[in-house]
Structure formats: C-alpha cells, structure tokens
Amino acid sequence: MISKAVIMVGGGSRGTRFRPLALDQAKIMFPIAGKPLLAHTIDAILTIPTIKEIILIGFYDPAVFTEFILDFNTKMKYQNRDCYLKYLKEFKALGTAGGLYHFREEILRGNPDGFLVVHGDIICSFPFVEMIEFYKKKAAEKGGIEAMLFGVKLTNYDLFMALSGSEQSSFGTIVSEDNGKVIHYVEKPESKISDIINGGIYIFNESLFRRLSNAKISKITIANDNTTFETVDEDVISMEKDVLHFLPDSGKTFVYEYKGFWRAIKTPSDALWANELYLDKVFQTKTGHGRSVIHRASVNIEPPVYIHPSATIHFENGTKIGPYVSIGANVTIGAGTRIYNSIILENCEIGQNSFVRNSILSLDCKIGNWARVEGTGVNLISINEIVKKNGPTKIKKVLDAESSRVIGIKDSGNICILGSGTHIGDDLYVLNSFILPSKSIKDDVKYEIIM
C-alpha cells in the first residue's frame, strides 16, 4: 500500500532561472490557473485513495508553507480524510536525493510498502493511480521490485528538445525493454539514446535507502581521501547520478511509460506553458478544482480562462479575455481591454483599452490606459505553426533564430514579465522585457531588463 508521498520542493537560493518572479515569491507557490504550482501536485496525489501522509522536503524558510499547510490540514479534517501534510526543512541544499536520506526515518515511519517521490516543479496530468497499479503488478510478477520510474515518452523528440532551450541534454534518458524493465539510464546525454525521458516521479521502497547510504559512504570516503584533490560535499546526494545511474544494474527497476503533456517549470515562460496546459486540462475535463472558475465562452471570454471571484472586470465596451488567462484575487481590469495567454497576479490594476499578451504580471502591478504589454513568442499555437511549416528537423534552427533576441534566458520564446509593484503609464509599450519589482515605467521598453 502506497501511503506516503514526498514532494521535493527545492529552495530559495535555487530557482534563479525563475527570476524576476522568484524575487516576489517561492517558485513552488507561484499561482497557476488559480492555485499554487504545489497545490496542483498535491491535489493529484490526493487521487491516490491510500495516501495518508504528504511530506514536503526542501530548504525554503518554513514560513513559505505555514499558511498553506494549515489550510490543507484543516481542509482534510473537515473532509474527514486521514491525510496529513508536513514540511521538513533541509539544513542546507542537499541535492536531489540528500533530503530523502536525511529524513529517512520520517519517511520510513509506519513501514510503508512503498512511497511516491515527486519533483515539485513538474507539471503533467499525474496518473499516479495508474502508475501505482503498474508498480503493484510488476512487483507481483517479479516477486518484488526495487523502483519504478516515470518515463515520459516523447512523441516528437526533436521538437521537445528544441522547445526545452539551448541545452539539448538537460534531461535524464531511460532505455527499457518491452516489458518495462529499465536496462540503461543516462543523465543529460549528448546524443539521442532513447525517446523516453525521466519525468521526475518515482515509486521507491526501503531499498532506496541502502543505495543512498552506499552513496553517502562512498562520498565520505572520497572526502576523507587525502590522496585526491577532488572536493566532495558528503551531504549532497544526487538522485540522478548517485541512484538512478546504478539502478538498471540490479534488473529490478521498471518504467511506467507516459505519453501526455509534461514539463519542468524552470523559467517564467514555463509558467505560461503550465498555465496553458492546466487551463486546457481543467476546461476539457470540466472538473472544476477548488475555487477555480472557468468561465463559459461569451462575447467577452474566450475559454479557458480562470478569474478569481473577487476580481472586477469591466466587461462593457468590448473587453476581451482569453484564451489562457489566469486572473488573481482583487484584480481590476478596465473596459475595452484585451488580455490573452497571460497570468495576472493578485491586486493588479489594468486600465481601459489596454492590451496584454504572453505576459506575467506579478503582485500589485498597475497598468494605465491604452498601454500594451506584450511578449511575442511563447504561445503553443504559434510554435505548432512553426513546426508545421518547417518540419521537426529544422525546428531547432528556426527557434534558435527566433529566440536570438530573447532576454535573460534562452527559451522557447519571448515573454514580458512585470515584477511586483511595477507601474506602467498610459500609452506605453513594453515589449519582450523583464522588469524587476517596484519600478515605475515612463517610456516604452523593448527587449530590455530593467533593474
């Protein structure tokens, strides 16, 4: 019975690629389609009926999660569900698996048959129930297995890699037999070895800690070895290099193949992808989650759109919102304004006849009348058009050319990000720029980072 799930949430000193949004709030708490990134993962974990405990491991200040955890545990009590959420803070950044080792006693308390490990910055449709069924089936077949990996089978490898930025090889690659047995694992390969990549979700059992302990011992040995100049931090353990790399040797690790949408949220434009994918998911399945409101199509709304109930939208004069817009609490939007493919966080004010696209507005931004805040290239639709036009083999080249002017990050397209408290005056144009928090913008800004 899988009764525990561990979410690796990372920490504040990491996630610099998520700037400038990371300057305002923890990446894991960034709201997408009406709730924090973390809540999407947790809500998916709750679809597992046997789950009793969810453990967050990371190195954020505990205050980041205090309110969220309290709300969650209260909600569970109210729903009479026996599930408890807690946060365990690493004493320093311990790598992708060091935290699991450090808190092994917490994880193993109650002797769970197995436990789920999920990276907090992953978005996908989280088919946990199916994955657990597959784990049980394989375990029964083989008389116990060591681990199950979540493999994302890429339908278009070239496109996926092209869209994932300049590094071809920022993913782990899994090679498996037809029956699902993992026979090879390579972290960040330079060439294409397989079209199944590591999706950052695992089912482990007790045996994981033997491997972690071995990794720990070998690190201490290296660290204490005076004959080598190699410096090793014995506390840091890598899931990918220290565990996954060795798993195939025992022949008792299997992969659950997944073919749906999947993405790791690293940069702000990934947040726009997540927004698009989650809004689509909710809209298509018609299963509203929590407080989310997905408005029906109308003259003013092109779904999917999430609008917080406390937001004030002036719908007169041809205001048009959507598709793919998330609007947070207490936001005000003036008449005649057009917004699409954007995330507008709490307390933002947007004037009349303005235009916002492919942009993220952090908390408390203020935009005047007839202003235009525009990113030009993260939209899936436009990327799909490029793919159709150029074919998958040329896509990388095309996107590289397209992104040669991208600000700050190498990415799949241009977006605009306004840090919290940004003020944009009437009539101004902000194009493909990042604005750090608390700036007042009085002139047009194009392809710039404003400190």
Give me the least distance between CB of 443 and other proteins, in Å please. 13
Using the minimum distance from each CB to other proteins, give the nearer residue, 170 or 376.
Answer: 376
User: Judged by CB, which is closer to other proteins: 342, or 353?
Assistant: 353
Q: Which of helix, strand or coil describes residue 108?
A: helix
For other proteins, the closer of residues 218 and 317 by Cβ is 317
Closer Cβ to other proteins, 329 or 335, answer by number: 335
Restricting to residues 213-252, name those near other proteins by CB under 8 A. Answer: none
CB of 140 to other proteins, least distance (A): 57
> In the set 175, 431, 449, 450, which binds other proteins (CB under 8 A)?
431
Pairing of strands 122-124, 262-264: antiparallel
Judged by CB under 8 A, which stretch of 45-53, 130-138, 286-294, 372-380 contacts other proteins? 372-380
CB 274 within 8 A of CB 123: yes
DSSP state of 46: T
Q: What are the Cα distances from residue 249, in Å, to 152, 181, 182, 183? A: 21, 11, 9, 7
Smaller CB separation from other proteins, 112 or 336: 336
> In the chain, what are the helix, strand and coil shares in percent, each to the nearest 5?
30, 25, 40
The b-or-e profile of 395-415 (16+ CB within 10 A means b, else e) is: bbebbeebbeebbbbebbbbb
How near is the Cβ of 336 to other proteins at its closest, in Å?
Answer: 4
* Cβ burial, residue 388 (10 Å; 0-12/13-18/19+): exposed
Q: Would you say 168 or 376 has its CB closer to other proteins?
A: 376
Only segment of 7-15, 26-34, 283-291, 371-379 that touches other proteins (CB under 8 A): 371-379
Total residues binding other proteins (CB under 8 A): 19
Buried b (16+ CB within 10 A) or exposed e, 184-214: ebbbeeeeeebbbbbbbbbbbbeebbebbee
Smaller CB distance to other proteins: residue 245 or 338?
Answer: 338
**Residue 429 near other proteins by CB under 8 A:** yes
| Nearest distance in Å: CB 324, other proteins | 15
CA angle 310, 311, 314 (to 5 degrees): 135
Nearest to other proteins of 10, 368 (CB atom)? 368
**CB-wise, 364 or 374, nearer to other proteins?**
374
What residues numbered 164-203 form the site for other proteins, per CB under 8 A? none
- Least spacing, CB of residue 396 vs other proteins, in Å: 22
C-alpha 10/C-alpha 96 separation (Å) is 8
Residue 338 CB, shortest distance to other proteins, in Å, is 5
Name residues contacting other proteins, limited to 373-412 (CB under 8 A): 374, 376
- What is the smallest separation between the CB atom of 320 and other proteins, expressed in angstroms? 8
Other beta carbons within 10 angstroms of residue 74's beta carbon come to 10
Q: Name the minimum Å distance from CB 185 to other proteins.
A: 43
Kind plus residue range of the DSSP H or E element containing 42: helix 37-45
Interface mask toward other proteins for 73-102; x: CB under 8 A? ------------------------------
Contact 359, 377 (CB under 8 A): no
Cα–Cα distance between 364 and 343 in angstroms, integer?
Answer: 13
Please state, in angstroms and as integers, the Cα–Cα distance from residue 100 to each residue in 7, 194, 388, following that order: 10, 28, 43
Distance of CA 182 to the CA centre of its chain: 25
A 10 A CB-CB count for 432 gives 22
Task: Write down the least CB distance from residue 204 to other proteins, Å.
Answer: 49
**C-beta separation of 369 from 351 below 8 A:** yes
53 or 276, CB closer to other proteins? 276
Ranges within 311-370 binding other proteins (CB under 8 A): 317-318, 335-338, 352-353, 355, 357, 369-370
Which residues contact other proteins (rule: CB under 8 A)?
Answer: 317-318, 335-338, 352-353, 355, 357, 369-370, 372, 374, 376, 427, 429, 431, 446
